[in-house]
Amino acid sequence: MNAPTLTDGFHLVTDALRLNGIDTIYGVAGIPITDLARLAQSQGFRYIGFRHEQSAGNAAAIAGYLTQKPGVCLTVSAPGFLNGLVALANATTNCFPMILISGSSDRAIVDLQQGDYEELDQMNAALPYAKAAYRINRPQDIGIGVARAIHAAVSGRPGGVYLDLTAEVLGATLDAAVGKESLIKVVDPAPSQIPAPESIKRALDLLASAQRPLILLGKGAAYAQADKEIRSFVETTGIPFLPMSMAKGLLPDNHHQSAAAARSFAIGQADVVMLVGARLNWLLSHGKGPLWSQTTRFVQVDISPTEIDSNRAIAAPVVGDIKSAMSAFLAMLKPGQIRPNSAWIDAIGERKKVNIERMAARLNADPSPMNFSSALRAVRNALTDKPDVYIVNEGANTLDFGRNIIDMYEPRKRLDSGTWGVMGIGMGYAIGAAVESGKPVVAIEGDSAFGFSGMEIETICRYKLPITTVIFNNNGIYRGDESGNEPSPTGFINGARYDKMIDAFGGKGYHVTDTVSLQKAVKESVEQGISSLINCVIDPTAGTESGHIQSLNPKSGLTNAS
Ligand code: ADP
Ligand code: MG
């Protein structure tokens, strides 16, 4: 009798991922998953090896956001896992589907806390930060574990899922036929969630009764890939819309119905606000305070029923997936049923005009050194005929100004700090976007924000990714002009030459101090599709502490710390 053909945990993991259409893995190799990464690559997976797990995790998360398939991040045990956990938590907070797969040490030793190499109960550590966390303890359970992770990541409100693979299970063998039988190809992992027809009617009735309706689009709407349906609903009803930052481009920023340039006015004056895939969280001051009217009534379209009434009473909740919901709205909408008051449209138009003129004055100034506005104007001008370029944006002032100055014309092209306002997503998101799309990416980074993931420029150069990183260098966090005997808590080395970092890896460095050279550098780098880093020197006094969210920054009245 012949010995049975064997398979092992490593092969079952790659087989299970491939069976489910996952073809890219972001990670950092090491014990016990090095062979898993090698095997995946040898089998035709695209394996992107990073310098830090947090960036690998951020790349996986943004891949999930862009594709609706869970992005996969692979890490070693304990410390590598914890580094990746920050990205997993960020993905969960932002509703991005990803799966963090980490190898783990010997369960028997870990559970008795006998001091194993990289000892940690990773599954339980992940639980509070993940949408779900699973551990696979037997090779015959790998198929089910991967299937459960995929369902959890992409169904309903998407999020981050942790999958724990013990070193033992990876090395364990199994009869190949039994192994093959144990794999599961998931069917319909993100099923449509059709909203109740009465909820659609209730929402349409409320919108029809409104004088001053407003549609607020969030990144859930962008994620849903319901671009046609959303645009059609906005244009058929004529309701003005406002995009949250990552929803920019869902409809082009120069669309005549965009109220973005009259944001506070539109929010404050609207009598009915329709939230589509946007939460009333801190980014919308919880629907409270001076920005909002207390009499505004809300429609909220969201896949998560518990999002409803979380900050303000929602008069017309529509619980379902956005694609199904927008189709249902369009199907039930009667011609002429919704017609915003023309005085409302005119008032927004007036306000936009005033604000755009005011902004133009600031934008057209040419101070030396550059400030945030003039430098962003140069970046914007370099990209006007390139709407398909991805923009990654982080840093306090760099983010606040960037959001307003860089217009977007296509959906899901703007990737930024998101729900947590987190710094450190820059290079990970840029790599994820470039790998998934093959398109050029421009990462507009504060010098501080860049530092959190800066080593990944080696990764960018190694894979020859078309990523242009522009560093707004004002010598510090917020700004770089605080002096003293010691380096200040917010200061960095004056005049640092970040462009020289990329020289070390064979990329192209640019050092620019004026808008003409900046615009030229961005244009050249994007058009040539090279890996580059532009050290963009701006005025050290240009930044504002905490950017636009100073109200969240407590100040001591007792010390001289202010
Ligand atoms: P933003 O920061 O742009 O305002 P948020 O991340 O706060 O957006 O909100 C996104 C919302 O979209 C979340 O409440 C999430 O439940 C919801 N969401 C995500 N995907 C979908 C979908 N396919 N259909 C409906 N709602 C979704
Ligand atoms: Mg700075």
Q: What is the DSSP string of 26-74?
A: EE---TTTHHHHHHHHHTT-EEEE-SSHHHHHHHHHHHHHHHSS-EEEE
Cβ 513 under 6 angstroms from ligand 1: no
Query: Cα–Cα distance between 518 and 498 in angstroms, integer?
Result: 15
Cα–ligand 2 centroid distance for 519 (angstroms): 20
Final residue of a structural domain among 182, 207, 239: 182
CA distance between the termini of the chain? 81
Cα–ligand 1 centroid distance for 307 (angstroms): 9
Cα–ligand 2 centroid distance for 544 (angstroms): 10
Statement to judge: residues 171 and 214 lie in one domain: no
Q: What is the atom index within ligand 1 of the atom nearest the CA of 243?
A: 3
Determine which helix (DSSP H) or strand (DSSP E) holds 303, and give its type and residue range: none
Query: Cα–Cα distance between 497 and 516 in angstroms, integer?
Result: 19
- For residue 20, give the nearest of 163, 124, 130, 126 by alpha carbon: 163
Statement to judge: residues 396 and 472 lie in one domain: yes
pLDDT at 559: 62
Q: Hey, what are 218's tokens? A: 């969030």
Residue 188 lies inside a defined structural domain of this protein: no
Q: What is the atom index within ligand 1 of the atom nearest the CA of 418?
A: 2
pLDDT at 197: 98
Residue 355 lies inside a defined structural domain of this protein: no
Cβ 393 under 6 angstroms from ligand 1: no
Statement to judge: residues 317 and 396 lie in one domain: no
- Which residues, by Cβ under 5 Å, contact ligand 2, an ion? 446-448, 474
Cβ 223 under 6 angstroms from ligand 1: yes
Query: Cα–Cα distance between 470 and 492 in angstroms, integer?
Result: 17
Residue 556 lies inside a defined structural domain of this protein: no
pLDDT at 548: 82
Rounded to 5°, angle at Cα 538 from 533 and 539: 160
pLDDT at 1: 59
pLDDT at 22: 98
Q: What is the atom index within ligand 1 of the atom nearest the CA of 219?
A: 3
CATH number of the domain to which 235 belongs: 3.40.50.1220
| pLDDT tens figures, 264-323 | 999 999 999 999 999 999 999 999 999 999 999 999 999 999 999 999 999 999 999 999
Final residue of a structural domain among 350, 380, 397: 350
Statement to judge: residues 505 and 482 lie in one domain: yes
Cβ 68 under 6 angstroms from ligand 1: no
| pLDDT tens figures, 407-438 | 999 999 999 999 999 999 999 999 999 999 99
Residue 31 lies inside a defined structural domain of this protein: yes
Statement to judge: residues 14 and 90 lie in one domain: yes
Q: Give the closest residue (by CA) to ligand 1 atom 24.
A: 321
Statement to judge: residues 129 and 220 lie in one domain: no
| pLDDT tens figures, 333-376 | 999 999 999 999 999 999 999 999 999 988 999 999 999 999 99
Statement to judge: residues 411 and 465 lie in one domain: yes
Statement to judge: residues 388 and 496 lie in one domain: yes
Query: Cα–Cα distance between 535 and 532 in angstroms, integer?
Result: 10
Statement to judge: residues 59 and 203 lie in one domain: no
Point out the ligand nearest to the CA of residue 450: 2
pTM above 0.95, yes or no: yes
Contacts of 519 (CB under 8 A, 6+ apart): 378, 379, 381, 382
Residue 65 lies inside a defined structural domain of this protein: yes
Q: What is the atom index within ligand 1 of the atom nearest the CA of 246?
A: 3
| Helices (H), ranges, 226-313 | 227-237, 263-269
Statement to judge: residues 377 and 332 lie in one domain: no
Number of Cβ atoms within 10 Å of the Cβ of 451: 17
Q: Do the bridges between strand 173-175 and strand 6-8 make them parallel or antiparallel, or are there none, so unpaired? A: antiparallel
Cα–ligand 1 centroid distance for 222 (angstroms): 8
Residue 358 lies inside a defined structural domain of this protein: no
Which phi and psi angles does 233 have, rounded to 5°? -65, -45
What's the domain range around 496?
365-548
Cβ 246 under 6 angstroms from ligand 1: yes
Point out the ligand nearest to the CA of residue 403: 1
Cβ 224 under 6 angstroms from ligand 1: yes
pLDDT < 50: residue spans in the chain: 562
Cα–ligand 2 centroid distance for 543 (angstroms): 7
Residue 190 lies inside a defined structural domain of this protein: no
Statement to judge: residues 394 and 340 lie in one domain: no
Final residue of a structural domain among 182, 207, 241: 182
Q: How many domains does the chain have?
A: 3
Cβ 244 under 6 angstroms from ligand 1: yes
Statement to judge: residues 68 and 170 lie in one domain: yes
pLDDT at 108: 93
Point out the ligand nearest to the CA of residue 93: 1
Residue 555 lies inside a defined structural domain of this protein: no
pLDDT at 2: 72
Cβ 247 under 6 angstroms from ligand 1: yes
CATH number of the domain to which 151 belongs: 3.40.50.970
